[in-house]
Amino acid sequence: MSSEIYKKILIATDGSEQNRRAINYGIELARLSEAKVYVIYVVDTASFESIPMDGGWEMMYELLEKEGREITDTVSDMIKENNIDVESRVLEGHPSHEIIEFAENNDIDLIVMGTHGKSGFDRFLLGSVAEKVTRNSKVPVMVVRDFPVEEK
């Protein structure tokens, strides 16, 4: 008998090794609840706003979009190995906004995403997407740290 808690789970990935743990959690939840999984990668076009729209911009965008397809294909393959129904998408825009909008427009029951255990400026930038999604999403969000917290 399957659990009906989650029918649709969204895994938002950036392709980083730190995100692997969140992906594994999402796969396990989908397996236990027999949910369909949506894997998305967002090409952050906000980072291009200060760059003139010329051939260089277009080439960079195409590289990032290709990277996004490769990442979502890899994650989708991991999910298919667990006999879970999966769909993947590469979106563009502000990552937190696109993740929230996709979840709300597709009746997602749970968003699963990782955060980085880095320090300093990298942590501020990378963790801000998870924070914005958590603060603004109407859909429940599971944020998975990339490493276990050590007990004191």
Cα–Cα distance for residue pair 129/151, rounded to 1 Å:
27
Residues 6+ apart with CB under 8 A from 117: 18, 123, 145, 146, 147
Instruction: Establish how many alpha carbons lie within 13 A of residue 99's alpha carbon, considering only the half-sphere containing its beta carbon.
Output: 34
pLDDT at 110 over 80: yes
Task: Select from 107, 86, 89, 110 the least CA-distant residue to 98.
Answer: 89
Dihedral sign, Cα of residue 24, residue 115, residue 15, residue 44: positive
Coil, strand or helix at 14: coil
Angle between helices 120-136 and 95-105 in degrees, nearest 10:
30
| Two tokens, residue 105 | 């427009």
- Which parts of 57-105 are beta strand (E)? 86-93
Q: Where in the chain are the domains? A: 8-145
The region that residue 93 occupies, defined by phi over 0 for left and psi between -120 and 50 for alpha, beta otherwise, is: left
* Contact status, residue 130 vs residue 143, Cβ threshold 8 Å: yes
Taking residues 96-125, report their average pLDDT: 79
pLDDT digits (tens, 9 = 90+) for 32-91: 999 999 999 999 887 666 666 666 677 888 888 999 999 999 999 999 999 999 999 999
Q: What is the mean pLDDT of the chain?
A: 85
CATH number 3.40.50.12370 given to 8-145: yes
